[in-house]
């Protein structure tokens, strides 16, 4: 059995070169979402009283970076700006080996200490943790650099196997996220009877803005709302099925997922959530060893690699 498993793994990683811009682009999107959250929300917004929270930021049984300083907004602001500086390095792609663990720590800290979070921080924390071993294997100066030769220091079998295994773990995690989102919500009566979208879009806090309500009210008050509600659930089950789909169909799944999360961003204003999810979708549905060609690249060649200038991405 182990011999067969070894042969299967050897077949999978033969010719697998993870040193493209694919995982770097996804990582930058996830980092950008958190960067924007920290840039446009000061500490008094991120850490505030809430029901059941006697202390904020919440520091019970966790190692949050925001718990390293006294519980005072002046100190928390200093930590916020330190996190912003680190996330800028993540977004521009500098030295992933050095920034991978700090990136995870920031995501972990927001998830465990901030009062105002959404599902994006939760999945972002898990995915950045799974990215840590990949970043530790990555000694490129920029994660945009495309290694095109057979440099053994980059294509070491140990590195390639480690990266491949953790990439598969990320893909499985994302499939579970979509399956869980689809199946768990069906326990809710409104999702099962097809009216949940109506209630979500009309929610006073999370609903659509007034100018969109004027346009969408005729749809929300018609039987079409059932199609939209069930369509969301079916689309998430469709994305789950991508885990066992051949690679030639991955683009269909990817653009379907991007459409879903772009719609969530535009209709419900969940921009950071949607950016994180699109970054995670790229890790799920774009082969790690294939360059993302959507980027406008000016390349220069040297003996070892092809580099993409990060400021142009």
Tens digits of residue pLDDT in 21-74: 999 999 999 999 999 999 999 998 998 877 666 677 888 788 999 999 998 999
* Eight-state DSSP code of residue 51: T
Q: What is the pLDDT of residue 2?
A: 59
Q: Two tokens at 35?
A: 């960067």
Q: Two tokens at 75?
A: 């100190």
- Say if residue 100's pLDDT is above 60: yes
Which one has a higher pLDDT value, 266 or 5? 266
* Eight-state DSSP code of residue 19: -
| CB-based contacts of 286, cutoff 8 Å, min separation 6 | 22, 26, 250, 254, 292
Average pLDDT (267-285) is: 95
Q: What is the pLDDT of residue 211?
A: 87
Average pLDDT (165-171) is: 96
Integer angstrom CA distances of residue 174 from 43, 152, 179, 181, 284:
30, 31, 9, 11, 7
Q: Are strands 305-308 and 146-147 parallel, antiparallel or unpaired?
A: antiparallel
Question: CB atoms < 10 A from the CB of 162, how many?
Answer: 16
Q: What is the pLDDT of residues 189-246, one digit of tens each?
A: 999 999 999 998 998 877 888 888 888 999 999 999 999 999 999 999 999 999 999 9
Positive or negative, the CA dihedral 47, 49, 51, 54 is positive
Strand partners, 306: 146, 301
- Say if residue 298's pLDDT is above 60: no
User: What is the chain's alpha carbon radius of gyration, rounded to the nearest angstrom?
Assistant: 21
Distance in angstroms (rounded) separating the CA atoms of residues 106 and 99: 11
Q: What percent of the chain has pLDDT over 90?
A: 65
Structural domain boundaries in the chain? 19-300
- Say if residue 297's pLDDT is above 60: no
Q: What is the pLDDT of residues 72-84, one digit of tens each?
A: 999 999 999 999 9
Q: What is the pLDDT of residues 118-159, one digit of tens each?
A: 778 999 999 999 999 999 999 999 999 988 765 656 668 888
* Eight-state DSSP code of residue 301: E
Average pLDDT (107-116) is: 90
Which residue blocks in 93-245 are alpha helix, DSSP H? Answer: 96-113, 119-136, 157-185, 189-193, 196-201, 210-220, 224-241
Q: What is the pLDDT of residue 153?
A: 61
pTM over 0.85: yes
Positive or negative, the CA dihedral 14, 19, 25, 26 is positive
Q: What is the pLDDT of residues 8-28, one digit of tens each?
A: 666 677 778 899 999 999 999
Contact 57, 67 (CB under 8 A): yes
Closest of 51, 91, 57, 63 to residue 75, by C-alpha: 57
Report cis status (omega within 30 of 0) of the bond before 33: no
Phi and psi at 259, nearest 5°, equal -60, -45
Q: Two tokens at 302?
A: 């040297």
- Say if residue 305's pLDDT is above 50: no
Strand order in the sheet with 146-147: 146-147, 305-308, 299-301
């Amino acid at each position: 059995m182990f011999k067969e498993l070894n042969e299967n793994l050897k077949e999978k990683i033969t010719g697998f070169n993870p040193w493209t811009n694919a995982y770097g682009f996804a990582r930058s999107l996830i980092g950008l979402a958190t960067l924007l959250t920290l840039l446009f929300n000061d500490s008094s917004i991120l850490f505030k009283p809430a029901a059941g929270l006697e202390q904020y930021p919440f520091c019970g049984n966790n190692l949050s970076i925001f718990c390293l300083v006294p519980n005072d907004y002046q100190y928390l602001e200093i930590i916020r700006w330190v996190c912003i500086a680190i996330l800028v390095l993540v977004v521009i792609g500098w030295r992933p080996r050095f920034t991978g663990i700090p990136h995870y720590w920031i995501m972990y800290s927001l998830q465990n200490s901030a009062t105002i979070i959404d599902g994006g921080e939760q999945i972002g924390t898990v995915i950045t943790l799974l990215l840590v071993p990949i970043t530790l294997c990555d000694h490129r100066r920029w994660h945009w650099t495309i290694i095109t030769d057979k440099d053994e220091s980059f294509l070491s079998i140990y590195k390639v196997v480690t990266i491949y295994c953790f990439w598969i773990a990320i893909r499985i995690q994302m499939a579970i996220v979509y399956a869980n989102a689809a199946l768990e919500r069906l326990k809710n009566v409104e999702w099962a009877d097809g009216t949940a979208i109506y209630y979500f879009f009309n929610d006073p806090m999370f609903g659509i803005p007034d100018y969109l309500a004027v346009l969408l009210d005729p749809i929300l008050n018609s039987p079409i709302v059932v199609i939209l509600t069930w369509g969301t659930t079916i689309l998430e089950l469709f994305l789950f099925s991508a885990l066992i789909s051949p690679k030639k169909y991955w683009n269909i799944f990817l653009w379907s997922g991007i459409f879903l999360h772009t719609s969530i961003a535009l209709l419900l204003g969940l921009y950071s959530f949607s950016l994180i999810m699109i970054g995670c979708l790229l890790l799920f549905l774009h082969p790690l060893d294939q360059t993302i060609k959507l980027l406008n690249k000016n390349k220069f060649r040297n003996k070892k690699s092809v580099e993409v200038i990060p400021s142009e991405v």
